Structure formats: C-alpha cells, structure tokens
Structure 1
C-alpha cells in the first residue's frame, strides 16, 4: 500500500469516518496489511488513533472485523486503553475493559491507564478503571502512584474520589521521598492542599531527600496562600525553613494576590521566630491590598513583642 493510502486511513480513523474507512479496507489484502501496521515514530496503530479520539464504532470495527489486537502497543508500550483513559474517552474505556483489556497494563516508565486518567479531570473514567480492578497503589518508575498525579493536577473531586475508594492511598512517597502534599503545594493546588491537611495524616515539616518541605515548595514557587494554610495547620515557617528558602533563591519580598508578604503569613500563624527572622533579613512591614500591616495581624504577646523590639 502506498504512503498516500496509509495517510488516508489515518485521517479517516482520526475523524471517525467509519463508512469511508470500511470502503478503503474492503479487500482482504488491505485488512491484513493494516492489522500489523504501525505509523511514524510513535508506532501508533489505527486502533490507537480511534481510542484517542473517542471513535467507538471505528474501534469496534477494527477489533471485531479487522481483527486488531486489543492489547496492541506502540513505541512507548501504550495500549489503546492508555490512549482512551488519558483522553477521558469513557465509552472507549468501557468497551475495552468489557472486552478483556488489561486494566493495569504498563506503558513506558511504568504508567498505568489509571495514572493516565488522573492527568485529566475525569472522575467517571477513574471510577470505571477502579471498578474493573485497577490498583491505585501501583507506582511508576519515579515512585509516583495515581494519587501523586491527581494531586499535581489539582482536581478536588478526583482526589476525594481516590481517598474514598482507597483511604490509605495518600501514604506514599516517591523515590526521592516526595509526598502528594509536596506535589500539591509545589503546584499551588489550594483546594487539594486543604483536603490533604484535613483528611490525611501528613506529619509537620515532612522533608524530601533534599530537605525540602511542602511549605518550602509552596513559597519558593510563589504560592503564598498555600504557604499560609501550611503555617496555620502544620505550624511550619520556622527560621530554619526561611533560611533554606532564601538559600534556594526564594524572593523575600514576594507577595500574593492580596498583597500579603511572608511577614503577613508569619503574623497570621502567630510565629514569632519566623517574624523575627524575616525582619532581621530586611523584610519591612507593609500594608496589604486591604491596608492591613503584618503587625496588625499579630495577636499573641511573643509576636507582638517582636514588632515592639523592631520599633525600638
């Protein structure tokens, strides 16, 4: 078959033009040729294209009439189920699972279809995979499970769904000891961080193999609101953390959308040592967008004393 003819088949499959595709594959020779055909450097087959674009009838035709293997894989070892799950194609996911696709098949770097589904905000696909026995505790080559990935994407519904299905799924660390809380904090996923702090048992100041805590991840990436949550609930923000942040290149004067500085955050959490260190490092008190200074947020005697000493 000529290259132009192959291109036509790919286009028809991607567009879901079933009748035209059937005409092109009417001869037994054409059907036989396409059955083992992989396209381009990705090594995708027509079945991969159909699953990715959500063309269920095309997919059924390729499997039932052309005889394509439901577990055919491309150059990255991605199966059609990986493609359908990663693109939230629920109808294709249901069909593949009901027709024997392996729910925990692995692509390159040991990613499962469930992990791929968690890169999207698609609770229905995740539920379908879980109901067919997908293991939420499996880890990829970096030590991430599906919960790490969901926390990175930041959809609270997906995170809550996984916790409901597997209440202990949060008890995981990557190969460099990073928790899902690190991941959510680093990406500024406020709603997810709040869920993790309320429902999961992360210990205060849990550090990865480089000594980085979730608070440090949040602040050095400019996610002040997340840092505030960690200060209030975990009590992070001590002088050692601040010194480490600065050594990593964090901006001492960074402010959030409400005009609040790190000094405001220290005052909100009533952390006297943190406030003292910030003032000593040259971070002056200032008004936020509402005209409130960090000193006005100080309530406890020890942190009030810090501001009084500064005035002296």
Structure 2
C-alpha cells in the first residue's frame, strides 16, 4: 500500500574551504517523500517459522546542496568594483532506500526457500549426495565425508563406505562392492592366482618362459628354475656354474662340471668324494667306485674302466698269464737277450740251458773233455786248475773251450750291415729261401734294417720281389711285419705299390696293419683303393675285415658305443669297453668315422668321454675316409671346449686331411676368436719342436 510521509532530514556536510578560506555549513531542509510496499507471500509446509524480515523502501528526500554565487562590491580599484563569490544553499530532490522490519512466515534456520516450500540447506554443497537436514548430507553409494566428496578408501564400499570389500586385500567397486582384481588374480573374491602359463589382468596373457620356468602372475617376469638363466630362462648354466640364475660356481675336480641344479659333482668313473677329488681305492673302479677289480697276481686295475694293470712279468685280461716265450717286464714288451733262451718273466734274467753260461747265455760250455764250436773236438789234456789256450785245444778245469755268441731280438735293428748281413739281403733278392731258413736256424738275426738303403728290412725287399716263400720264411724268422722304412712305408705299402696281390694276401693273412700312415699320410688301404689294379682292390675289400677288423659295418654293441658317445654316456662307454667292444672300430657306412670322431662332433661330457676313450685304447688322431681327425671335427663345428680338451690330451693339430687342410689351418681361418686363441704357440710348442 502507498503512504505519504513527510520526513525532515538534517544533513550536515562539511565543505572544504574555498580559495578565500570560507567554511560552508549544511543547513536543515524539509522534504516530503513517498514509498510503495509489496504484499507478503505465503509459505506452506513444514520447517516454516515467524521471522523478522528486513526489507527496504524507496523514499524521495530534498537535500540542500551548496552552490557558488557571484556578486560585486566596492573596492579601491579602477573601476571601483570588485567581484565577490559566496555560497548559496539550493534544494534538490533525490530518491533513497531505507531499511524496515516486519514479521513474516519464513524458513526456519537451516532451511531455504525453494518455491513455496522450505527445504534443508547445507552450507557446504553435497557433491555426491543429497542434503537431508541442516548441514547434513546423505551420501550416494561409494562416497563419504561431510560433503560427500570423498571416494571410498581401498577396501571399503557402500553407504558412507561402511562395508568391507571381500576381495582378499584387493580393491572393490565403491558402489557395488564387486571386486577389482589386480594383475595376477581372478575369481569373485580375487582368491585365485593365475594358472601356470598365464599372467596379467584377468590372467589373459601367455607366459613366454622356457624350461618349466614360472612367470610372475602380475608382471610376467620369468622366474627361472635352478640350472637356467636368461630373460625367458632359455639359457642353461654354462660349464662350471649352477643354481638359481646360474650364480654359483662348481668346485668339482678332474675338469668336470656339476649338476646345474644342485651343484652336486657328477664324478666320472674312477673317482669319488664330494668334489670327485679322490681316486677309487685300490681294488675298486667304475662309477662311484662300486665295482671290484678282478685281477690276479697282485695286479691293480684302472680306476675308470677296471682294466687290469699287470705287474711286471704278467699279461692277459686278468693278468693271469706270465710273459710268453722270450718276453719279460712291464706288459711283456721287453725281449729276453739270452741268445735264444728263456728268461725270468719278471726280471729278464736269463735261464741258460745246459752247456750255456753267461749273463746272456752267450758263452757255450762244452761237456767235459770236448771243445770247439760244435763241442765235437776231444780235449787232450787233464782237468787241472790251469787255463788252456783255446787255439791249441788245451782245456781248462771248467771245461771252457770256446765261446760262441748269438743274439736274437724282435725289434728292428737299424745298422750298417756286415758282410754276413748283406748276404741276407742277397738271398732275398735271389729268392733263396732255403738258405735263409738255414741261417735262421743257426740264429742269424734277420730283423735288421739297412741304414744305407732307406732303412729297408729284408721283408721290404721280399715284398718288392714277390716271392711268397721268401716272405713266409722271413716272417717265421721273426722279421717285423709292420716295420717302416725312412719314408714310413711298411712291406704292405711296397706290395700294394708294386701290384703284388699274392704278397698283399700273405701279409694281410699274417695280420699286417693296412692302416699305418706313411710320411705322405697314406696307408696301404688307401693306396689299394686308389690302385688301378682291381685285384688289389678286391683283396683289401674282402680280406681286410678278416684280419684287421676295424673298418666295417657296425655290430649291435658297436652301434651302442656310437650312440652312447653321441649322448655323452661315458660310463656306458666304459662298460662296453669292459665287455671287449673295440673302440677303434670305424663305421664304413659313415665315412669311416670312429667313436673319437663322434666325441668331438657332439661334445657331450667331453672331458670324461675323451678320458674314457683313451683308457679304452681309442686313437685320438684317427682319420676318416676324408682324412679328417677328431680335432678337425671339433674345429669345424666350433666346439671350443672339445678342441681344447683334445689338444690337451695329445691330438695332433698338423695332420692334413684329403684337402690338405690341418686343424691348425681351419682354426686360424675361423671367425671365432676363442677358437683361434686356443691354437697359440705355447700350446702347440711340443708339436712344433
């Protein structure tokens, strides 16, 4: 409603001094104003209260405002009039708002007006919820806090985050409580780890680990089992290391590695102890020293394969035989020097027959009353203690009348021939085998080589001349069938070169070795195969396996030998050796490779394998049909360890193959610096010398 009101306002204002220092004062004025007041609005519902409401009304008022006014006064100037200013109060009408108060229906404290109702009011906004009372928020699922602005902490969910997640320490959805499994876990409550071979969120990724390694269920990182290393556990422990990540070093003796998992030393046959540092005690041999030696005559056995090591004077598989015939000493390799008589099989001391005396049984003693070379001359003297002159047939009391010297030996004696010895060669040239037989019966040594004729023996000459009877006579007289001349040629080399097929047959029948290499690195067998004489080739193809059974199709046990070498089963190789399997056998169906070639090619357990093959009599320098030795193989395939071990055990790096290449040449041409480094001068000096 409209009302007229008159208000007298007194407004005091202080004005600044004018330039003349006049101070102005405000004066009171009377003003009439009017105002308009709005009708009240009615609130409904709960939470309403009678409150004093402040409101404003507009009013018009008159105010006096100072105004500068100009006038003139008398002064002593020309003209005699001066200008003077003074302040005059002038009324102005203005409109102003004034506060007033009234009682109305309003919202109680903590509530606010929304339309015609009063709803709760929260001073801080409920971000993720609803205001349910003054300053009270009801939070949505998954939130908490006075303003519902805090997401549920990990492990909590629901209204005001009061519920605990049942996810085995994993987080859950703050609203629904559904588990949010971390990488590496699955299941309603994240209770299941990723199955083997899977990892990551939802266990959806495939592990890339090798050799039965586990992978981390969260990251997929491979956790190698002992014995392997590498990002995906694809690298076995290097020789000499074992354990997790191959971080531990083996401490095994005798050049062996250890079990890559446990580090336990796998002792080769013949050794025992925690670190394989102990040889088998006397009387035992083999793996773990469990086998007992079976040797006679106080012989010991090899700690690896059990082969009997015979004492001086004995031979045989079990050392059960004394040295036969005219031999004695270690392995019966020494020949009795007793003028054809037997000697003690241990010491070599001569056991002279009747009528022979002397250290070498080279002094003939005639029966009492006789003298002369054949003791067929009657002594014409009485037995006294006075020595008689041998030339005058005067005997001594001991009946010593004449001395005849005879020496018999199996070793070839290289010498300048005497006149009588040159006659032996002449008899051979003439084919006079009967005279040779008589000379042999007389004890003439025919096992000689002419130092002035290329070190040839009578048997070399017989092979060249082609007389079988002469050849057989010389063999019967003990001439060495495999003697080599200065060029390394045996009688069999000579017979092949001269196409003497019947001589080849006789020599092979008497066990001449067709695989001895001459200085041109050719053996008789190779010469025969290169020959244009088909008869020679036929003899070697049909006969060589009968008398020198090394190159042939493999038998059952020999096939096992090659298989065990290939797989590194050195203990099984030793067992076959004990059974009598010949480790020198060469496989005619595989380029005549031997077990030693396989050992170098596959390099499995190379140290104990080489040791075992050598103890079984293997040839470390055996050549196959291409002329390659085991050392050639090791270098060609890049087996550094095998190359080093073969050299250490005496492999010759300067043997040429059929292409003229040595293992030394191949190594120097290799791109592998480790392989080249092995063939340094200090290591090979014993060959170079």
* Structure whose residues are more often helix by fraction: 1
TM tier relative to shorter chain: 0.3 to 0.5
Larger radius of gyration: 2
- Taking structure 2 as the reference length, what is the TM-score of the superposition? 0.19
Instruction: Tell me: higher relative CO, structure 1 or 2? Use CA pairs within 8 A at least 6 residues apart.
Output: 1
